[in-house]
């Protein structure tokens, strides 16, 4: 991503989230119809990418600069029975501190 585009995105951010969604290896791509993307309220935050481990399939990646940590992508329905977010436990909510410790400081 171009630096200028990142800077433009960061202008939209008022404050840093405390947690971020990170997709783990359990992501199946939901057979090409990712449920999580339909729950995320932030445009272009959850992106479809090619799954390097399974040819011709997709998986999801989260743009850490856009994620607001709202947890809608992992939300369970009433009594934990109805799944609204990821049905495969493929999304981890990670503290911003841990994320930046691993990946470096984000350019908010």
Contact residues toward ligand SF4 (CB under 6 A) are: 21, 23, 27-30, 34-36, 39-40, 42, 45-46, 59-60, 62, 67-73, 86, 88, 90-91
Pull the structure tokens for residue 39. 């729950």
Question: Where does 13-71 have alpha helices with state H?
Answer: 35-39
**Percent helix, percent strand, percent coil in the chain, to nearest 5:** 30, 20, 50
Return the number of the residue (88 or 108) whose C-beta is nearest ligand SF4: 88
Nearer to ligand SF4, 6 or 65 (CB): 65
For residue 30, the minimal CB distance to ligand SF4 (Å) is 3
Distance of closest approach, residue 65 Cβ to ligand SF4, in angstroms: 11
Q: How do strand 58-62 and strand 19-23 relate by DSSP bridges?
A: unpaired
């Amino acid at each position: 991503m171009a630096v200028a585009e990142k800077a433009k995105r960061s202008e939209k951010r008022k404050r840093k989230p405390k947690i971020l969604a990170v997709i783990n290896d359990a992501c199946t791509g939901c057979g090409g119809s990712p449920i999580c993307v339909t729950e995320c309220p932030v445009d272009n935050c959850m992106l479809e990418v090619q799954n390097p481990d399974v040819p011709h399939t997709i998986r999801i990646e989260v743009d850490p600069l856009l994620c607001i940590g709202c947890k809608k992508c992992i939300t369970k329905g009433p009594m934990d029975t109805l799944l609204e977010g990821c049905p495969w436990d493929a999304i981890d909510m990670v503290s911003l501190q841990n994320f930046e410790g691993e990946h470096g400081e984000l350019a908010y």
